[in-house]
Every structure is written in C-alpha cells, then in structure tokens.
A and B are shown apart, each in its own frame.
Chain A
Amino acid sequence: MTAPGRILVVEDDEMLRLALLEVLDDEGHEARAAAHGAEALEILDEWEPEVLVLDLMMPVMDAFEFREHQRRQGAAPGARILVLSAARDLDGAAHRLDADAYLAKPFGLDEMLTTVDRLLDDRRAGDAAAR
C-alpha cells in the first residue's frame, strides 16, 4: 500500500479536472490542479509535487511548452510524469515529453490510481537512492 502523496493535475477540461481531484482526494492524496501549463508553473513556485498528471493539449501553455519551462527552471525536478491524453499518437508524445507513464482517455479509475501509486513508489525509491 502506497502512502498518500502530493499530486499536481494539469488539465484544461474543468469537468475532468474536478473529477480527478475528487478521486485523488478520496485516496488521501494531496492533490492540486491547474488549467494549463502556465498556471502549473506558478503552483510549482511554492509547492513540490511528487507526481505530475499532464494533459497534452491545453490553451495558453500545452504540455510540451510546460515541460520545457519546468526543466529549464528546475521546478519539481524529481517529479514523475503521467500523461493523460486523447491524442492518437500518445506513444510518440509521451516519449517527447520524457513521460514515465501515459494513459489514453478515457481511462479506468483503478488503472489511473494504480499508475499514480507506482509513480509515487518510483519517485520515493529514486529519492532514497539519491540519499
């Protein structure tokens, strides 16, 4: 059983964003949300999540631009990346984003939560190895 973690959801669709927050909250995670990349960067200024749940296509700043800024600024450097998308070439996009996992929309709740747990474990193992 994975201990609850800090998760940032970056998703422009309001309904999906709220649904994600709710289910992550149900699991005891500390979840916050942003509607696009720029908003996410602001949150990263003051809070370091362990897992980033990223939508691909978003207004203002999409996932690709966000990752570029995030890496350049060194924000949440060890955070694991989970990409959620309806895009057809999800594999290629996830590779370009250097994502740790991806799920095609629509995805199952269990699948999503299991993936988040796996990424949290992975993140913590990476942290322990670094110490």
Chain B
Amino acid sequence: MTETTDSTGAFADVPGLRGEVAFRLLVEAVQDYAIFLLGPDGRVLTWNLGAQRIKGYTAKEIIGQHFSRFYTPEDLEAGRPMTLLGWAAEYGRFEDEGWRVRKDGTRFWADVILTALRDEHGRPYAFAKITRDLTERRAAEERERMLLVEKEARAAAEEALRARDRFLSIASHELKTPAASLSLTVESLQRASASGRLDADRLAGGLARLATATDRLGRLVEELLDVSRLAAGRMAFRRDPTNLVAIVRDVVDRFTVADEQPRVTLGGRSDAWVSGDASRLDQVVTNLIDNAVKYSEPDSSIEVDVTHLDGGVLLAVRDRGFGLDEEASSRLFEAFGRGMNAEHIPGLGLGLFISHQIVERHEGRIEAIPRTDGPGSEFRVWLPAGSPG
C-alpha cells in the first residue's frame, strides 16, 4: 500500500467528493478542536462542530460576529484579542493559553493557536484559529498541584511532630537525670542519718550534689520558660548603654577554673558599646562559650574576641571542636534544631535558638561558619554600635 501524500488523492474515486470539499467536511466534523477562520478584522468566517461544542454558538449565530466575544471582560479591557491577532500577523503564528468565555457565560481554559494566512504580498487575509478546551486537564493539574502542596504541608507538620518528639525525649532525659540524683541523694542521706552514719563529710558531699542538681533543674526550667516567653513575644528587653567587652570578660572569668590552665582566652578591644539588655547578652555569650566547651575536646583552646565591624560590634567565638554538621548548620538556630552529632551532648538544645532570638531583638545577626584555619567552628554575633553610658 502506498501512502497518500496528495490531499485530493484519498477521495479521488469517491463520486462527488472533490478534495477541498472532503477537507471542509473533515474540519467541520472534528469535535475535539474548535477550528475556524477569522477575517483580518477578527470577524468569524467559518465554524465547525468542535467550535460549536466548545463555545456553544451555532455557525448561524456566530459567523460574521467579532471573535472578541470569546474573551473575558478583563482580557477585553486589556485589548487582548486584537493584540493576539497583531502578534499572529507579525510572527505568522501565535500560541496562547487562557480563560475564554462560552456562549452561556461560563469560562473554559483554552489552548489557542492562531496562524496567519497571507496573500502573495505577505499580507494576512485571514487567520486560522484552533482552540482546545483544556479545562479538565488544567483542573487535573491544579488538583495535582494542590495534592503536592498538601503533601508538603503534611510532611512539614510530620517533621515538626518528630522534632517535638525528639525534643520531649531530650527534655525528659535532661530533667529526669538530675531528678534521679536528687531523689537518690536525699534517700541516701536519710538512710545514713537513720543509721547514725551521717558524718560531716558525707553530709557536705550530699548537700553539694543536691545544690548542683537543683541548680541544673532550675536552669533547665528557666530555659524552657525563655522559649515559651520568646514564642509568645513576652520576653522583655532593656535597652541600656552596655559594654559588650565587660560582659564577655565576666563570662570568660566564669569559665576559668582556679588553678587550671585557662581554656578560654579573650582578645580584641577593651571596650565596645552597644545598646541592649546586659543580662540577655550575657546569656548569648554564655551559650556560645558553653557550646564551644561542650563541643570540643577538654584540652582544646577557645578564642573569644570583640572587634568593631561595619558600624557595629562583632563578637567571635572560635573553637577546635567537632565542627558543624553540614545538614544541621542551616537548622542550628531553630528550636530543637541541634545537629545529629550532638546526640550525647547534655542540654536541651535550645541555647542557639534562644541566642538567635535575643540577637534579633537587638537588631543584630548571628551566624556559624566552619573555621578556615583548620578544624572547628566559629560563631559570630554582630550588634549595631551604641554610645557609651
């Protein structure tokens, strides 16, 4: 069998069916596409079954009418019908997707191809317009998109739940351990006392443990309260002239154990003024140095310095620790965002979240970067400069 390339050939032996007639019949019979001709002025010249099915007009109703009636009022206001025709005239062919209006006023989502038919001088004498109704497909795509959005939202909610669960595990572990020390020590002191074995040494040792455990519980509860205050926007901040270097010096002193080689060294300026809340800024500095201590070997050094930068004050805390877990770095400052390499580190994992919030309330910035001069991390806090008090 030979393929027919001659458009008239296929019907050549059907009596009374000349090629053009056959082609017109074909176009007229197509139901899935609106195929029709427009005059150069945009009036409808021909109409097919598909056009009638999609747009709702019969040939009798629409032939001779301007095609702008297929457009929405918004498109009409923007002059879109004639613009599209102009583009088709200019480029020869133009494809458009958008809302169109049926005879009954309802809208459908159309894919439209406009092709300019030109005379021998290149002037368009008509436009062929092929329109497909993509409402169903668009609705399906929209449903798919909504499903995806929903899926993402659900995944985010599930992750939030998992994070909350992780946090509850951590919090329960952190709270129950000092609670276990408390109860065990109290009971053991009671026993020793009852059996007459409670000497001064035993009592002093027990009381010291009780003091440490209550202090730790108190700090954990305070931290939890901070998070709840921050979340509710109820944390009050003072704005006093504050020397950040004095705060940092105090904190560094607290980390220096008597008779031991100091691990934390302070460099940089001797004063650097900011406007802020001294006790909250103390909390930030304490958190950063405490983290540096917790996340590095006991004998490694921690460098702290305060300098001036970009009209503000820059605090840098550098350690030689385990470094930053890349995946966790981005979530470091979120609540419950502690790194996976932090599983066995004591604490609630809320310190950086709280610090971030405090720094933001001071119009400052906080960031964590890997050190470029070897292993370890550097935490930086920048605060706008204030005037000395």
Q: Do A and B make up one complex?
A: yes
Residues of A in contact with B (beta carbons under 8 Å apart): 12-13, 15-16, 18-20, 22-23, 26, 57-60, 62, 84-88, 104-110, 112
User: Do A106 and B344 contact each other (CB < 8 Å), given the known contacts A16-B184, A19-B209?
Assistant: no
Contacts A18-B209, A19-B209, A105-B179; A57 near B184 (Cβ below 8 A): no
Is there an interface contact between A26 and B185, defined as CB atoms closer than 8 Å? no
Nearest 3 A-B pairs (CB), nearest first? A86-B176, A109-B187, A106-B180
Does B164 belong to the interface (CB within 8 Å)?
no
Are B173 and A23 touching (Cβ within 8 A)? Answer: no
Query: Judging by beta carbons under 8 Å apart, are B169 and A87 in contact?
Result: yes
Smallest CB gap from B213: residue in A = A15
A106/B184 contact (C-beta < 8 A), A15-B178, A15-B213, A57-B344 known: yes
Check B37 for interface membership: any CB of A closer than 8 A: no
Judged by DSSP, the binding face of B is helix
**Contact A26/B180 with A57-B344, A86-B172, A86-B173 known, Cβ cut-off 8 Å:** no
Residues of B within 8 A of A (CB): 168-169, 172-173, 175-185, 187-188, 191-192, 197, 202, 205-206, 209, 212-213, 343-346
User: Complex: how many Å from CA A71 to CA B7?
Assistant: 86
Q: Cα distance A85–B169 when bound, in Å?
A: 11
**A16, B180: Cβ atoms under 8 Å?**
yes
CA gap between A116 and B152 in the complex, in Å: 50
A108, B187: Cβ atoms closer than 8 Å: yes
Partner of B177, one of A13, A22, A60, A108: A13
Listed by A's residue number, 15 A-B pairs whose Cβ atoms lie within 8 Å are A15-B185, A16-B177, A19-B184, A19-B209, A23-B187, A23-B188, A23-B191, A26-B192, A59-B345, A84-B180, A85-B173, A106-B176, A106-B183, A108-B183, A109-B184
